[in-house]
């Protein structure tokens, strides 16, 4: 089918909830994608951080196809060996004690909210359910995770939102003002991705961690976009030298299949019991097989170090482009502010020229596959440079 045919079919049958680029991707390998007209693209987006090993990695494909041929799904009324292996691997590599598997980042964050509120009410009484999140944050598109999101632009149309959230600036004075006697948790992203690729200040993060420990306020870290090697550590909080009570993950964990995970510390491992939470598709065997392949690759000697090196290389190359005002981020999660023109216009022109990039507010955002090689980085940067000139 031609691109125009695909576009017409899509617009006639799918809700218009996405502002799409005029591209229909049909296949890919590594950091390269091909559209319906046969045009090739360098992909600096990895499906918004999902294709952590790039398109159609051979080992990943083998893992998911072999599992699909054995057992594509079983409900959580029964034990699943592949789900158990994935949970054990995540816990061993992070120091957390238990995992709940969901289907997306928003669902993983919903689990974190429920876990925190049940801990708070079980421990301190029924009103101990207040959660503080940071201004400029983004935690998902369900009614509850929209309520947790600290951006007014998302608080439209769908009222009433889930109550019990307050928003603070990423500095301790504002945190202290937002916290009250019923605060059970503080939730944050280490890098505010949708908020404009804004890394949190390490001093603030460490002071906040100590503040939470002193007051038995749970620290929830949303690593839906930053987790699974994206910043050169398995999880971004490890760059900051803290260990939260709860961390959520999704996107890059499945390598292309929908999966979410909510990991909790030892003292929280039994807070949610049978009947308090659940998911029909959470921990699906095929998705778990893909996640195991991703974690195996990320655990290989030198892999994360190479992610850090590639991130520094990309950051340095972006920083010397005359048309770029500033670059921020960690590892292979970077944002670049242009001196003139809009990020949206630049992203559209990049797509026309064979490079796929993202935007985040006024910035161009780059989330290439963790496996991207240097020639692919250089090819993408060449297109970017010519485009923004």
Task: Classify the phi-psi angles of 49: left when phi > 0, otherwise alpha if psi is within -120 to 50, otherwise beta.
Answer: left
Please report which helix (H) or strand (E) contains residue 8, including its range. Answer: helix 3-13
Q: What is the CATH number assigned to the segment(s) 3-56+302-388?
A: 3.90.1150.10
Spatial contact of 162 and 156, defined as CB atoms under 8 Å apart: no
Tell me the pLDDT tens digit for each residue of 38-72: 999 999 999 999 999 999 999 999 999 999 999 99
Let me know the angle formed at the C-alpha of 142 by 274 and 147, rounded to the nearest 5 degrees. 105
Task: Name every residue whose Cβ is closer than 8 Å to that of residue 159 and which is 6 or more positions away in sequence.
Answer: none
Tens-binned pLDDT, residue by residue, of the chain (389 aa)? 999 999 999 999 999 999 999 999 999 999 999 999 999 999 999 999 999 999 999 999 999 999 999 999 999 999 999 999 999 999 999 999 999 999 999 999 999 999 999 999 999 999 999 999 999 999 999 999 999 999 999 999 999 999 999 999 999 999 999 999 999 999 999 999 999 999 999 999 999 999 999 999 999 999 999 999 999 999 999 999 999 999 999 999 999 999 999 999 999 999 999 999 999 999 999 999 999 999 999 999 999 999 999 999 999 999 999 999 999 999 999 999 999 999 999 999 999 999 999 999 999 999 999 999 999 999 999 999 999 99
Spatial contact of 148 and 116, defined as CB atoms under 8 Å apart: no
Tell me the pLDDT tens digit for each residue of 125-154: 999 999 999 999 999 999 999 999 999 999
Query: Residues marked as binding for pyridoxal 5'-phosphate?
Result: 105-106, 138, 222-225, 280
As a whole number of angstroms, the distance between CA 184 and CA 265 comes to 15
Let me know the angle formed at the C-alpha of 193 by 196 and 368, rounded to the nearest 5 degrees. 105
Q: In the chain, which segments carry CATH 3.90.1150.10?
A: 3-56+302-388
- Does residue 225 sit in helix, strand or coil? coil
Query: Residues marked as binding?
Result: 105-106, 138, 141, 222-225, 279-280
Q: In the chain, which segments carry CATH 3.40.640.10?
A: 71-298
Spatial contact of 42 and 354, defined as CB atoms under 8 Å apart: yes
Spatial contact of 283 and 77, defined as CB atoms under 8 Å apart: no
pTM for this prediction: 0.96
Please give the backbone phi and psi of residue 185, each rounded to the nearest 5 degrees, phi first: -160, 155
Q: Which tokens in the block code for residue 91?
A: 């816990």
Which residue from 260, 238, 242, 262 is spatially nearest to 251, judged by alpha carbons?
260
Which of the four CATH numbers 3.30.300.30, 3.30.1370.60, 3.90.1070.10, 3.40.640.10 does domain 71-298 have? 3.40.640.10
Compute CA 281 distance to the chain's CA centroid, rounded to the nearest angstrom. Answer: 19
Query: Residues marked as binding for N(2)-acetyl-L-ornithine?
Result: 141, 279
């Amino acid at each position: 089918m031609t691109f125009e045919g695909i576009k017409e079919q899509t617009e006639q049958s799918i809700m218009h909830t996405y502002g799409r680029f005029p591209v229909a991707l049909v296949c890919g390998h590594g950091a390269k994608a091909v559209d319906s007209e046969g045009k090739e693209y360098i992909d600096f987006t990895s499906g918004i951080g999902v294709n952590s090993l790039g398109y159609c990695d051979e080992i990943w494909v083998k893992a998911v196809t072999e599992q699909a041929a054995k057992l594509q799904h079983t409900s959580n009324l029964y034990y699943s060996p592949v789900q158990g292996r994935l949970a054990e691997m995540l816990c061993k590599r992070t120091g957390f004690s238990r995992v709940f598997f969901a289907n997306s980042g928003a669902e993983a964050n919903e689990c974190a909210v429920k876990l925190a509120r049940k801990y708070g009410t079980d421990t301190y009484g029924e009103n101990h359910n207040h959660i503080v999140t940071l201004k400029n944050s983004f935690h998902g598109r369900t009614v509850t995770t929209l309520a947790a999101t600290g951006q007014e632009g998302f608080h439209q149309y769908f009222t009433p939102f889930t109550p019990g959230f307050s928003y603070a600036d990423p500095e301790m004075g504002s945190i202290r003002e937002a916290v009250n006697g019923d605060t059970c948790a503080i939730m944050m992203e280490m890098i505010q991705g949708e908020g404009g690729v804004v890394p949190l200040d390490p001093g603030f993060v460490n002071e906040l961690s100590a503040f939470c420990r002193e007051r038995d306020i749970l620290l929830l870290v949303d690593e839906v976009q930053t987790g699974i090697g994206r910043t050169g550590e398995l999880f971004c909080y490890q760059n900051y030298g803290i260990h939260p009570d709860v961390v959520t993950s999704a996107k890059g964990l499945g390598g292309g299949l929908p999966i979410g995970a909510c990991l909790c510390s030892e003292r929280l491992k039994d807070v949610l019991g049978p009947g308090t939470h659940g998911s029909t598709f959470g921990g699906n065997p095929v998705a778990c097989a893909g996640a195991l392949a991703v974690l195996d690759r990320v655990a290989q000697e030198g892999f994360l170090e190479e992610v850090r090196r590639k991130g520094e290389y990309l950051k340095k190359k972006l920083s010397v482009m005359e048309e770029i005002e500033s670059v921020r981020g960690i590892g292979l999660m970077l944002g670049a502010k242009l001196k003139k023109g809009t990020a949206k216009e630049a992203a559209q022109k990049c797509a026309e020229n064979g490079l796929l990039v993202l935007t985040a507010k006024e910035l161009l955002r780059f989330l290439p596959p963790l496996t991207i090689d240097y020639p692919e980085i250089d090819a993408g940067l060449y297109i970017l440079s010519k485009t923004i000139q």
